[in-house]
Structure 1
């Protein structure tokens, strides 16, 4: 199934042109400095060492080299010109849910498409991994119009018959192995599976990491429609719930908010910036606000 585009290349080009109009504004925000200050130290990479001079920051002393040479040396850095951007995109069955005319997966892919084009605009190489119950597709960050159009085409594809389950931990560990240079990594998921925490922390230890939790209004507000049958999209388990019950409504809301806060706390304490994006949000507006923020957690 495709949501944004038809199968022909001309439609893809037209859609990309429309996205580029929005992505241009997003690219300006990514270039403004916020993009390179999401984390302490972002925007520079190690260049070498030189002898210490009076007035140098003592925090930059390379103690290993200093010990070997028997005199102080400091590390030198240079600004990174092209910080690679990488996307980890969850296509598991739970991402096909949505109550406002747009699924979580559609929202994630629209946001990712904007970021792909914005990254191209500032000459950053782009890569991606798609997964459901298995790894569906992955490629290392690359540049060039042909590569960008291929990624946009992949983002427009919503295959039927996703493999059950979620291999989010495997996708995160795979990204860690694939990305040799420090990169800006966006993880788009509903984070409903388990066992991803260690791999997320490991990825955040090496890269600048943003976890985008795709939510839906029904996560906290059930429709008041009497007794309804709910089906777990991953396990197929059925459950009848009295949606008109105020007790159930409160427990549903509280449980969802609790799980979200636990997720946020874990991200913030493991070198990862959390971002919540609802299916009813304008993804461009959310991303612009995200990059416009001047105060961010120092991770």
Structure 2
């Protein structure tokens, strides 16, 4: 259990790290990776060869007996929604970090990147139900509040139900938003809800995983407990067949997640505990900018 002093220190650490990353590495990439809601009128100027004749301002042109064109600019203000998995399975981690720590750091970086771009940010915390909703707002204090909530989240339930969070997104946010879904995706039957959300919002999945989710150590008979259901099982990790089947099952499930997002027309990123998530995010932003 974190003390108040621990929380304040951790919030400050995440703010410094996230603001540095969003200022030094992601400011340009984030700004250009996501498009605004539309175009707004900026000014009129003298007509130039190549201007679209549909944008000629006939009233101004008549007044000055010379053609003038309307100039528009993209509306940059965006609404960013973070859907953050706070289920018990996110507490697992064997490589310097838990999956929850990865999710929290990435969410903090995205929060400060949005705030630095003068965008609104909100959060939907979910387990197998929506645990808490923080409506989108601007400003540093709001960003710090979000980070504190992520660090101190105490869910009432242990399970994971992605459909509940995605449906809540559709119902609570009427305008098109940038939605980041951060989870280990240990769930099923969420494809339909994801497809509906992706048709309305720009939705990006970020899948956190631990090395032991993929590879079992050879340590003999191992007692394992499902963090969400409490069920206990024994696994013979000394068996090469068991270890091979375990790893293949992880890759099959990963491929299934990729296909679900692909069919929904959305992106899915994979970030492991202890991995340099900065490189993953930079690669994603660069890819978005080339589209």
**TM-score, normalisation: structure 1:** 0.80
Matches of residues 152-163 of structure 1 in structure 2 within 5 Å?
Answer: 152-159=147-154, 162-163=156-157
The list of structure 1 runs, each at least 4 consecutive aligned residues, that deviate by more than 3 angstroms after superposition, is 1-5, 10-15
Q: Call closer, same or farther: CA 1:14–1:104 in 2, change over 3 Å.
A: closer
Q: Call closer, same or farther: CA 1:249–1:23 in 2, change over 3 Å.
A: same
Matches of residues 94-113 of structure 1 in structure 2 within 5 Å?
Answer: 94-113=89-108
Name structure 1 gaps, 5 residues minimum: 37-41, 48-54, 57-76
The residue number in structure 2 matching 1:290 is: 284
Matched residue SS, 1:285: helix
Contact kept in structure 2, 1:110 and 1:283, CA below 8 Å: no
Please give the alpha-carbon distance, in whole angstroms, between the structure 2 residues aligned to 1:212 and 1:15: 19
Matched residue SS, 1:139: strand
Please give the alpha-carbon distance, in whole angstroms, between the structure 2 residues aligned to 1:11 and 1:232: 29
The residue number in structure 1 matching 2:111 is: 116
2:254 is equivalent to residue 255 of structure 1: no
The residue number in structure 1 matching 2:138 is: 143
Please give the alpha-carbon distance, in whole angstroms, between the structure 2 residues aligned to 1:119 and 1:294: 16
Matches of residues 107-256 of structure 1 in structure 2 within 5 Å?
Answer: 107-159=102-154, 162-256=156-250
Kindly name which structure, 1 or 2, has the bigger radius of gyration based on alpha carbons.
2
Q: Deviations over 1:9-52 (max 9, x none)?
A: x7634541332112212222112x2x12xxxxx445377xxxxx
Contact kept in structure 2, 1:3 and 1:156, CA below 8 Å: no
Name structure 2 gaps, 5 residues minimum: 41-50, 53-71
Q: How many residues align?
A: 262
Q: CA RMSD in A?
A: 2.5
Please give the alpha-carbon distance, in whole angstroms, between the structure 2 residues aligned to 1:176 and 1:169: 11
Contact kept in structure 2, 1:90 and 1:189, CA below 8 Å: yes
2:16 is equivalent to residue 17 of structure 1: yes
